């Protein structure tokens, strides 16, 4: 059993985190001599490290993995990837003992707030533009910002084969503006500025949904608070995880259409049509038409 407090957990907390029992019940089991660490008897106050084997009544106790949500103030030069071949990847920068991955991207030359997690379920719910989750940026450009620039940026710019969604844009200083997006197109803000003949000199994300950068220093990270996660979970409770999910919801509407009764083929109608063509009445009409032709 380990004695390094920074990498260990209290035995009773370790047992309760497995879902077997409460922390108080775990203390009772320890006092009753039913718990071992690496085959040795235990007592209250013992701590458990990653390599320790804990058993209750001879059965292995395995705690559930803790779900982590981290806010990082990403520095310029760090790449939002888990690829180990990238020397400046975000995971190496964090250097967290748990396996984490970023939620979305923040370009290498950009800085500011980015989330990391080990919860794959939450990622697409936050990222989908259709879910309207806001991301706020402060952007510096190479020349003075005009009312025309603000208007065009706000109402949509043609990039990457589409037109960007309407967004909130506000002039902060002569060459600085604030923009709030719900989209996440590749290098979106930079491309939007380039289209209007502006060059981004600095881009910093300061907010994602309800979480702000606050006083978090460049390069530092912190775990999201319980209150922050509670609000995020409320905000994403009705969000679609994927675009496919929203398509599935639309399918029933498409099936119910006015064209449906017309599309159905009825062999009786064909037969009826054939019968009408070959009926004596139609034959007389056809003959009279052909006879008129002959007279001409």
Instruction: Check if the beta carbon of residue 179 is closer than 8 Å to that of residue 191.
Output: no
Phi, psi for 139 (deg, rounded to 5): -125, 130
Q: What one-character DSSP code corresponds to residue 126? A: H
How far, in Å, CA of 146 to CA of 141, rounded?
12
Q: Report which of 178, 110, 186 is spatially closest to residue 150, judged by C-alpha positions.
A: 178
Q: Report which of 50, 20, 53 is spatially closest to residue 29, judged by C-alpha positions.
A: 20
How far, in Å, CA of 240 to CA of 247, rounded?
10
β-strand partners of 178: 138, 170
Q: Report how far apart, in Å, the C-alpha atoms of 123 and of each of 1, 81, 115, 233 are.
A: 36, 14, 9, 12
The encoded tokens of residue 211 equal: 């979480």
107 is catalytic: yes
Q: Report which of 13, 6, 15 is spatially closest to residue 36, judged by C-alpha positions.
A: 15
How far, in Å, CA of 112 to CA of 133, rounded?
17
Question: Considering 83, 107, 197, 227, which one is annotated as catalytic?
Answer: 107
Instruction: Check if the beta carbon of residue 102 is closer than 8 Å to that of residue 115.
Output: yes
Residue with tokens 């912190």: 222
- C-alpha dihedral, 37 to 38 to 41 to 46, nearest 10°: -40
Residue with tokens 């001599």: 33
State the catalytic residues.
107
């Amino acid at each position: 059993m380990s004695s390094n407090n920074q990498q260990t957990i209290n035995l009773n907390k370790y047992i309760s985190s497995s879902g077997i029992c409460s922390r108080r019940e775990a203390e009772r089991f320890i006092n009753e001599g039913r718990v071992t660490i690496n085959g040795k008897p235990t007592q209250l106050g013992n701590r458990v490290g990653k390599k320790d084997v804990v058993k209750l009544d001879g059965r292995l106790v395995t705690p559930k993995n803790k779900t982590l949500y981290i806010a990082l103030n990403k520095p310029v030069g760090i790449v939002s990837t888990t690829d180990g071949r990238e020397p400046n990847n975000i995971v190496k920068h964090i250097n967290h003992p748990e396996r984490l991955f970023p939620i979305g991207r923040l370009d290498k030359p950009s800085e500011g707030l980015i989330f990391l997690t080990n919860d794959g379920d939450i990622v697409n719910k936050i990222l989908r533009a259709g879910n309207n989750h806001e991301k706020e940026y402060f952007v510096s450009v190479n020349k003075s910002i005009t009312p025309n620039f603000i208007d065009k940026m706000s109402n949509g710019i043609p990039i990457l084969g589409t037109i960007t969604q309407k967004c909130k844009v506000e002039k902060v200083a002569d060459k600085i503006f604030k923009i709030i997006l719900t989209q996440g197109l590749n290098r979106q803000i930079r491309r939007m500025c380039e289209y209007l003949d502006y060059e981004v000199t600095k881009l910093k994300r300061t907010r994602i949904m309800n979480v702000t950068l606050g006083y978090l220093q460049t390069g530092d990270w912190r775990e999201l608070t319980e209150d922050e996660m509670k609000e995020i979970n409320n905000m994403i409770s009705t969000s679609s995880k994927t675009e496919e999910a929203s398509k599935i919801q639309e399918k029933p509407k498409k099936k119910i259409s006015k064209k449906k009764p017309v599309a159905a083929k009825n062999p009786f109608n064909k037969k009826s049509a054939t019968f009408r063509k070959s009926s004596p009445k139609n034959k007389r009409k056809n003959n009279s038409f052909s006879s008129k032709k002959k007279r001409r």
